[in-house]
Structure 1
Amino acid sequence: MRFVLAGLRSAGVSMMYQDSGLIIRFAANIPESWPLKELLDGGTDETVFSPTHATKVIQAKRRVMETGEPTKLEIHRDAGQERHWYMLNIEPDVDPEGRVIGVFTTIVEIDDLKYRETVLKTLLRELSHRSKNLLAIIQSVASQTARHSQGLEDFLLAFRNRVQSMAQSQDLVTASDWRGAELFALTQSQLHPLMGDLPSGFKMVGKDAYLFPNAALHLGLALHELTIDSLARGALGPAGGTVELSAEEQRNAKGDSELVLTWREIFAQRQDAPETGSKSKSGFTGTVLGRIVPQALSAGVEHVIEPDHMVYQLTIPGNQYELHAPG
């Protein structure tokens, strides 16, 4: 018996035996938060559990005695401010004549298991929420891309590139356990597939802010559109010149923190003035930069195109970023 009890203790298993009246006749290795063994001997499950939970345990044990079939039961017990979960394995004690004369109950604390279950459920809910958001973004991108495409091939090429852009942002967010992505790493992830290593005329300065997932996904899309447009007609393409991405934190009139993110292109060759009176970009790129991204981030936006330069600026509220990556 000492050998068996030592094994139970090392395995973290408690044991209880009750007779046909469910009176406790033996208890060993009982959890510290439970009543003392002296109080358990001769007691019932009502000695251990609250009335509601005791009723549940007693009903389970009576079913075992009636059917002769073992069962398992998860139950929790509150001790002060703490809640502990236990797995009860209830088996019948059968005499040589086949009569059930009592029940054996082994008890294992499963706090770690319940904690992991809670974390997993939380993560699954978060994954579901973020997946729905991502699908909504993709649906919007598909709709807007189709609206501004000249044909099927044009749509497929543009849509494929934009989905790939979102995938690259998503990879960074996923690698951080869904916490977000650093601004400069996000920028490099968007530019590299389009042009390889950053050219000497491209620089990033200021605060390398840590963007939360929603900001990272939408800013990744904005950076993709800015790069594509610059390669087609701006400083990274035929106009030549330099591009600077800067990020600085400021306080607004209410004293709240804001991140001022600026993409500034200085053209080596003057370009024709845009036809639109607002001097801002039209088409899908204009929709992304002027409406989709600012609305998603609740950010202020300024987008100006002049013959010798282009400036795109977002003023991002403090709930979308922080200046140091989470530990």
Structure 2
Amino acid sequence: MALNNAQVGVVVKAEDGSYLYASGLPEYFPSIDLSEASDESLFADDWLKLMQEGQRQVLATGKRSVVELVRTTNSQYCACECTIERYEADGLAPAILITFVDLTPERKREDALKALLREVSHRSKNLLAIVQSIAAQTARTSEGLDFFLTKFRGRLAALSSAQDLVTESNWRGAQFKSLAQHQFMRYIEKGDRRVSITGEDVLLSPNGATHVGLALHELITNSVAFGALSNKAGTLALDCKRLEDGRYVISWEERTGLAKTPLAKEETDVASRKQFGSTVLERVVPSALEGDADYDIEPHFVSYQLEFRVADY
């Protein structure tokens, strides 16, 4: 009972090879009848050679031998540590004692941990590459250090917000609507009637969530500075739709609600909005998602279309 509770299997063999006792072997070993049991019936293929060689060494030297049995197939993985030693006691004929310790759960945990560490390393490198790209793109359109720091910190905060959602989902990704709401909440109050979020609540991959979050950040900050979110009369519609070919399109339509302004002022506002984030919206994000984007700015209307295929990028 103690051995079974400790999940240790035991086999005792006479020196002539006959089986005297067997109990508690891991489930991937076949059930055996002691009267007919043999190494051939218990160990198959390459395991048989390893165990017979281990027993020969013990009988020849009297020293303990440890054999590790591992099997990997498409449907099964198992690992077992077998300790073989000579067993002698007063009044009993010499025998061979083999103890079996199932290493399968431990090895699976180790493999899962290694896979997790590789995944963390991979995603960390991806994030560093994204941060490097953000820094470079921000620097290209910055007129000075203060402006760079303001824009760069905002983009990093948007990246962090998207990563929080991805982490909460155990790295499955982020739902589109939750991602959008998190980005808007950094600039407007929840339930702001100027903003509507409709359509498919698609699950974005971790990479998709990161870059869509970045695109939304650029659109929102531009809107706060120049567009619908800069006044009480503006309206903003964000929608996600699945196309017939399986791709998705995220649509941003924004109406400033402002009265007509002088032509020179309109041209200045359009130029300013184009400068801030246009590279991210038109090149960086669609490239990362292997999609297409269309960004159109008029004095009182802004449209952004991002088409992409949902995948584990």
Distance in 2 separating the partners of 1:37 and 1:88: 22
Aligned letter for 2:249?
V
Aligned letter for 2:303?
V
Residue 265 of structure 1 corresponds to 254
Residue 221 of structure 1 corresponds to 214
Distance in 2 separating the partners of 1:208 and 1:59: 61
Residue 97 of structure 2 corresponds to 104
Contact conserved, 2:19 with 2:34, CA < 8 A, in 1?
no
Q: TM-score, structure 2 length as denominator?
A: 0.81
Aligned letter for 2:282?
G
1:132 Cα deviation from its structure 2 partner: 2.1
Distance in 2 separating the partners of 1:181 and 1:31: 41
Contact conserved, 1:280 with 1:304, CA < 8 A, in 2?
no
Contact conserved, 1:239 with 1:267, CA < 8 A, in 2?
no
- When the two chains are superposed, the root-mean-square deviation of aligned CA atoms in Å is 3.3
Aligned letter for 1:13?
V
Contact conserved, 1:182 with 1:208, CA < 8 A, in 2?
yes
2:171 to 167, 178, 197: 178
Aligned letter for 1:306?
E
Contact conserved, 1:232 with 1:238, CA < 8 A, in 2?
no
1:226 Cα deviation from its structure 2 partner: 0.8
Residue 324 of structure 1 corresponds to none
Residue 76 of structure 1 corresponds to 71
Residue 137 of structure 1 corresponds to 130
Distance in 1 separating the partners of 2:237 and 2:72: 60
1:262 Cα deviation from its structure 2 partner: 1.0
1:13 Cα deviation from its structure 2 partner: 3.1
3-state secondary structure, aligned to 1:204: strand
Distance in 2 separating the partners of 1:280 and 1:55: 76
Task: Decide which moves more: 223-232 or 142-151.
Answer: 142-151
Contact conserved, 2:204 with 2:310, CA < 8 A, in 1?
no
3-state secondary structure, aligned to 2:172: coil
Contact conserved, 2:257 with 2:300, CA < 8 A, in 1?
yes
**Percent identity, aligned pairs only?**
33
Distance verdict in 2 for CA 1:131–1:56, change over 3 Å: farther
Residue 155 of structure 2 corresponds to 162
Pair 1:34-2:30 in alignment: yes
Distance verdict in 2 for CA 1:198–1:232, change over 3 Å: farther
Distance in 2 separating the partners of 1:217 and 1:68: 59
